[in-house]
Structure 1
Amino acid sequence: MASADTIMSAFTTLLVTLDPPGLAPIFLGLTAGMDRVQRRHVALRGTFIAFCILTAFAIFGAGILSLLGISMGAFRIAGGLLLFWIAFEMIFQKRNERKEETSKTAITIDHIQNIAVFPLALPLIAGPGAISATVLLAGTFSQPVDRLLLILMLALTMGTVLLALLVADRLDKYLGMTGRAVLTRLLGVLLAALSVQFVVDGVRSAFNL
C-alpha cells in the first residue's frame, strides 16, 4: 500500500497538471453563447471523456511502455522533463495563451456539439502533461490496490476540474486576471519541483543508484 506522502504527492501532481483554475476562463471562451444547461452538459461530457482517457493510460500505460521496450526509469526522466516544460509555460503564462489559441481554432473547425470532445477533453484536460503524469504515477502505484487508489485520485481530481468548470463564471470574476496569474505561477513553481523529483527518481531507477 502506498504511503500517505506518496498519495499526497501523486494527488498534488495530478491537480497541478490539470490546473482547474486555468481551465475555467478557457472553458468560458469555448462555451460563449451557450446557456447554463448547455454549458453543464459540455462540462460533464468533457470531464467524463478525459477521465476515461487518463484511466486507460493509468491501467495500460506501463504495459505499452514495456511492449515498446521503454523502461520506467527512462519514461520518468522524459516525463519529468515534459512536466518541467509545462511548469515553465505556466510560470511565464505561455500555457494559457497556447490553450486559448487551441480553443479559438477548434470553434471554427468543429461543430459546437463536439467541443466537449475536442478541444475540452483532449487536449485541454487530458493533454500531454496529464497523460505523462498519469503514466508516471502508474509506475509508482503498480500494485492492484494502489492502481485502484490512483484511479480514485483521478476521479477526485476530475471532480475538482468539473466543479471549476461548473462555477467558471463565478471563479473567473472572483480571481480576476491578477488572481489567475498569481495562482498559475504558484502552481507552476510547485509542478517544476515535482517534475525535477520525477527526473531524479528516473535517474536513480535507470542507473540503479
Structure 2
Amino acid sequence: MFNFKEILSVSLILFSVIDILGSVPIIIDLRKKAGHVQSEKATLASGLLMVLFLFLGESILKLFGIDIGSFAIAGGLIMFFIGLEMVLGIHFFKADESDLSSSSIVPLAFPLIAGAGTLTTLISLKAIYATPNILVGVLLNLLFVYLVLKTSGWLEKKIGTAGFNVFRKVFGIILLSIAIKIFKTYLFQ
C-alpha cells in the first residue's frame, strides 16, 4: 500500500512548493510585527486545509465540470511560475499582507503554508500518486514546517540569507522539472 519512492517524491514536491525555508524571512518579520507565532496552531490549520482539499478538491472540480487532467495542467503551470520565481528571483504572485494580526492562521497557515500553490499541487499529485502516499508526504512536510516555525530565530542566525537563497534556487529547479513532467504526462498522452 505505501510506496517509499512515491512518499519521497510527494514529500520533495510539497517541500518545494511550500518552501518553508524560503519563507523564514517572512516568518521572522511576522514574529516581529505580531509578537508571537503560534507554531502548533499554524501547523494544524495548514494541515487541515491540505487534507480537506486533498479529499474534497476533486468534488469541487466536478461541480465546475473540470477534470483532474486539466486541473493538473493548471497546477503544473502554477508550479512552473513558482519555480521561476524561486530560480530567477522575480515575483508573479503577491501575498496578501493586509492582516498581520497575532493570529497564526492568516497569513501564516493560509496563504503562506497552505496557499494556492500547495492546494493546487495536492490535486495535481492525486492524479499521479496514491492518496496514502500523499498523506504521508503531507504529514512529513507538516512536521518539518512545525520544526522550522519553532526554530525560525535560530535558523536565521545559523543559515543566513545566502543559505536560504541557495535552498530556494535548488528547490525552484526541482519544482520546474516536476511541472514539466506534469505537462508531458497530460499534454502528450
Same fold flag (TM > 0.5): yes
Residue 159 of structure 1 deviates from its aligned partner by: 0.9
Who is 2:32 aligned against?
A: 32
Residue 136 of structure 1 deviates from its aligned partner by: 1.1
Secondary structure of 2:23's partner? helix
Who is 2:71 aligned against?
A: 75
Who is 2:16 aligned against?
A: 16
Structure 1 stretch displaced more, 8-17 or 60-69: 60-69
- Aligned partners of 1:46 and 1:120 also within 8 Å: yes
Who is 1:133 aligned against?
A: 121
Give the alignment of 1:1-209 within 5 angstroms: 1=1, 3-32=3-32, 38-39=36-37, 42-94=38-90, 98-99=94-95, 102-103=96-97, 105-107=98-100, 111-112=101-102, 114=103, 116-141=104-129, 146-204=130-188, 209=189
Identity score, percent: 26
Amino acid corresponding to residue 192 of structure 1 in structure 2: L
Residue 74 of structure 1 deviates from its aligned partner by: 1.0
- Aligned partners of 2:3 and 2:133 also within 8 Å: no
- Aligned partners of 1:77 and 1:200 also within 8 Å: no
Judging changes above 3 Å, is the alpha-carbon distance between structure 1 residues 66 and 98 closer, same or farther for their aligned structure 2 residues?
closer
Q: Residues 32-73 of structure 1, C-alpha deviation per residue, up to 9 Å, x if partnerless?
A: 1666xx43xx12111110100010011111222233221211
Residue 7 of structure 1 deviates from its aligned partner by: 2.7
Stretches of structure 2 lacking an aligned partner (at least 5 in a row): none
TM-score for the superposition, normalised by structure 1 = 0.82
Amino acid corresponding to residue 120 of structure 1 in structure 2: L
Secondary structure of 1:8's partner? helix
The count of corresponding residues between Structure 1 and Structure 2 is: 189
Residue 9 of structure 1 deviates from its aligned partner by: 1.6
Give the whole-Å Cα distance in 1 for the aligned partners of 2:170 and 2:45. Answer: 28
Give the whole-Å Cα distance in 2 for the aligned partners of 1:68 and 1:159. Answer: 33
Give the whole-Å Cα distance in 2 for the aligned partners of 1:167 and 1:200. Answer: 39
Secondary structure of 1:140's partner? coil
Give the whole-Å Cα distance in 1 for the aligned partners of 2:153 and 2:89. Answer: 21
- Aligned partners of 1:21 and 1:180 also within 8 Å: yes
- Please give the root-mean-square deviation of Cα atoms over the aligned residues, in Å: 2.1
- Aligned partners of 1:76 and 1:136 also within 8 Å: yes
